[in-house]
Every structure is written in structure tokens, then in C-alpha cells.
Amino acid sequence: MWSAYRDAEIGVGDVVVDLSRTTSLQVTGVASKRAGEHPKVRSDRTADLFGVDEDELVYHCVFLPDGDDAISPPSKTYAYPASRLLRYPVEEATPNERLQREWLTNVLEELAVEANELGAQQRICLREVVSNAFGSEVAGLLEEFVEAAGGEA
């Protein structure tokens, strides 16, 4: 069941390490352009060193504070291809799950409750929307939550 959450993948809010400079960053977003189309990634000389694929995702990141900079908020985001980043599993230091997992679980539970108020055709459309947005595994989780909430998937 939990494999649908794609824990190994980088997500918004994650702490990552830039493999080129070994600096810590936080992911603030995902670029609309892939690495091959993104002007900052294409012009970066390290792209060749890391074998950046033209179709890989590009993440917007901010540098995490270090030393004297710890009191200054970030002022700019930087574009990094996925192959240059390593997700740092900060959740392993606490008993908590990844924030993204908790958020997705809450959203799916709310959708499941609302789905029980919908007709069969609307539930099919909802499942299709979730499947298109998050993948078939997450859509399967939605069905499990709908059944647990007393409805039909």
C-alpha cells in the first residue's frame, strides 16, 4: 500500500543534497520544463558530468542556511536536474512519516468521504482524475479509503 507514496522520489519540501557541491538544499517546486528544455540546466557545465537526461525533472531549490547565513532568509531559487540531487531522508530521525505521505493520506481520506455522496459515474470520474494526477497506485488507495468509509469503489 505505501509504495504508492513513492518515498524514494524527491518532492516539494524535501531536503536534498547537491551531489556536485555537497550542499544542502530544500525543494520549493518543480519546473514546468524538463532538463532538455530548461535554459539554466542546459547551460550548466555539470549537466554532462551527471549524465543529465533531457526528459528528467528539474526542481526549484533554495540553499539551506549554514553558519552566519542562518538568520538570512533565502532570496532566490535555483534549478537542479533530478540526477544531481540526493533526497535526504530526514523523516528517519523522527517517528513521523514524510509530510507528503501525511498530506496525501489526509486528502485521500477527505475525497473518500465525499466520494460516498457521489453517483457511480462521478466516482469513476474522480478515480480517473486521481489516477491521471497521481498514478494508478494512488487511485487504488483512494478506492481502499472509499471502501473503508463505507462506500463502493
Domains observed in the chain = 9-88 (2.30.30), 99-148 (no CATH)
**Identity of the amino acid at 135:** G
Alpha-carbon distance of 83 to 56, in angstroms, equals 8
Alpha-carbon distance of 148 to 82, in angstroms, equals 36
pLDDT at 118: 83
Q: Please return the burial class of 5, using the count of CB atoms within 10 Å of its CB with bins 0-12, 13-18 and 19+.
A: buried
Given a cut of 70, the residues of the chain with pLDDT beneath it are 1-8, 68-70, 94-100, 151-153
Minimal CA–CA distance to 46: which of 97, 101, 8, 83?
Answer: 83
Minimal CA–CA distance to 53: which of 24, 78, 27, 82?
Answer: 82
**Stated pTM of the model:** 0.60
Please enumerate in sequence order all residues whose Cβ is within 8 A of that of 47, keeping only pairs 6 or more positions apart, or say none.
35, 41, 81, 84
